[in-house]
Structure 1
C-alpha cells in the first residue's frame, strides 16, 4: 500500500461509513454484529459514527463476521490502515508554534506509564541541558522562549516513580557536536546524572565491534499502544498494534547492543573528558 501523507489520519469518517454500509448491506443490526464480534453495541456504534478509530484487528474481525471478501474488504482494510497512521510535518508544527507540540507531548507523557526511546542522531529534550535545547531549535525563526521553557518543564516527568523510561542512544547521538566542547561535556554529564534516576534506564550503543542491525530512524514507543517515528521533515504516528509491535521488537534488538549502568557512565565520562580537552 502506498501512503499519501496528507491523507493519513484523515480517513476515520470514510472508514466509519464503509463499515456501516457493509453491515447494512449484509442486513445485520449493530446488536447482532456486536454479539458475534464479542464487542459492546456501544463500541460498534462509536466505530460506525467515527467517534473512535477501530484497530485493524477490530476491522478484520468485523469484515470476517460480515463475510466481506475481495476488493471491498481490501479497500476497507486500507482505510483502517490509514486511519491508524498519522503524519505531522515540521512546517505545520512550526506554523502552529512549537510550544503547542510540547503540550501534545506532555499529554502523551501524562497518559503513558512505560516509555522506550531509540535516539539515533540527537539527544531528546527530556535528557537535554538548556543549552542543548536552545541549540536544537536554533534554526526556527522567532521567539522560542516558551518552547524552551516547556521542554525543560517536561523533564520533571522523569522523576515520577509511577512511570518507567528506557533510553537507548547511539554513540553518534551522544557525541554529535551540536554545542561547543565545554557545553557538550556538560550535556554528557547530564546524561550520566539522569542514568542514576531509579526509574530510568539509559543505554549507549558504542560504534565498536559488529552490529548487524541497521537503524534508520529515531522513534519512541508509548506503552504498547503508540509509536512515533521521526523523519527529516516530520513524524509518523502509528497506532496499529502490528506497527507498534514491530518497533518494540526493533527496540529490543537495539537494547541487546547497549551498555547500561556503570559501563554506560564510564563511556560518558571518557567522552566528556575528551570534549573538555578540546577546549584547552
Structure 2
C-alpha cells in the first residue's frame, strides 16, 4: 500500500466496511465471529460501524477467525495501520486556528495520567516562560495572542500531583538561543525550579560523552494510548500499540543517558550562568504552536 501522509487517518470507514464485507463473505454473523475472536458482539458491531478504531491485534484476531488469505491479511493490516495514524500539517492547523491545537493538547494532558516528553531542539510550551513562548511564535503568519494565552493556561496541569511528568531535553533544546541571553537564563532557571516538584522529572542529555541512541524528532507519549511525533511541518499522531511501544522503548533508552535531580540542576545552573551578553543569532522559525 502506497504511503501518502495526506491520507493518514482517513481509511477508518474503509477499514470498517472491509471487515464487515469479509465477515459476510465468510457467512458468519457478528455473534459467531465475536465468539471465534473471544470478543464481545458489541465490540465487533462498533468496529464494523466505524465507531471504534480497532488495534492491529484486534484486526489480526478477526482476520484469523475469518480464515482470510495472506494477501488479504497484508492489505487489511496496512489499511488498519493507516487508519490508526493521523497527520496534522502546519498549514491546516493555521487555517483551523492554532488555538484549536492548544485546546486539543490541553484535552490530552487533562485526560492522561503519565506523560513523557522527549524534546530534541526546543523547550515545550508546558515548561516555557512567556518570553520564550512569544519568541517561538514570532514568525507565525497568523495572530498568536490567543495561542500564547492558551499555552500559558495549559501550564496549570503541571500543578496536579495526581499526574506524572517526565521531560527529557537535549542540551541543544535547553540552550538554543531562541531568546536573548538574559531571557534564556530566565528560561533555564524555570527548568531548574521545576526539577524540585515531586511529580515532575526533568532530565537533560548533555552534548559530549557517549550516547549510542538517537531520536530524529521531538515526541510525546500519553499514558500507553497515544504518541505524537513532531517536526517543522506538522505532527504525526500514532494510536497503534506497536508504534507506542516502540516510542516507549526509545524513551527508556534515552532516559538512561539523561541527568536528573542534583546532576540536572547543577548542569542547568551552569548553562544559565553561561548566558552572557552580546547580540544573539537570528531566531529560527520555531514550532508555530505545535507544542
Q: TM-score range by the shorter chain?
A: over 0.9
* Partners of 2:94 and 2:142 within 8 A in 1: no
Q: Could you say which residue in structure 2 is the equivalent of 1:267? A: 267
Matches of 1:105 and 1:3, distance apart in 2: 26
Q: Could you say which residue in structure 1 is the equivalent of 2:199? A: 199
Q: Could you say which residue in structure 2 is the equivalent of 1:156? A: 156
1:113 paired to 2:120: no
Displaced runs of 4 or more, over 6 A: none
Q: Could you say which residue in structure 2 is the equivalent of 1:92? A: 92
Q: Could you say which residue in structure 1 is the equivalent of 2:181? A: 181
Range with bigger deviation, 33-42 or 160-169: 33-42
1:32 paired to 2:32: yes
Secondary structure in 2 matching 1:161: coil
Q: Could you say which residue in structure 2 is the equivalent of 1:53? A: 53
Q: What's the TM-score, normalizing by structure 1?
A: 0.97
Task: State the superposition RMSD in angstroms.
Answer: 1.1
Cα shift at 1:75: 1.2
1:77 paired to 2:77: yes
Cα shift at 1:275: 0.5
Structure 2 regions of 5+ residues with no counterpart? 280-291
Matches of 1:12 and 1:75, distance apart in 2: 14
* Partners of 2:115 and 2:223 within 8 A in 1: yes
Cα shift at 1:2: 4.1
* Partners of 2:86 and 2:236 within 8 A in 1: yes
How many equivalent pairs are there? Answer: 279
Cα shift at 1:206: 0.4
Q: Could you say which residue in structure 1 is the equivalent of 2:127? A: 127
Q: Could you say which residue in structure 2 is the equivalent of 1:190? A: 190
Secondary structure in 1 matching 2:237: strand
Q: Could you say which residue in structure 2 is the equivalent of 1:209? A: 209
Q: What's the TM-score, normalizing by structure 2?
A: 0.94
Deviation sequence 1:104-127 (CA, Å, 0-9, x none)? 001111111000000000000000
Deviation sequence 1:130-178 (CA, Å, 0-9, x none)? 0000011111123211100000000010111111000000000000000
Cα shift at 1:227: 0.6
Secondary structure in 1 matching 2:215: coil
Secondary structure in 2 matching 1:275: coil
Structure 1 regions of 5+ residues with no counterpart? none
Q: Could you say which residue in structure 1 is the equivalent of 2:289? A: none
Deviation sequence 1:162-220 (CA, Å, 0-9, x none)? 11000000000000000000000000001011111110000000002111112200000
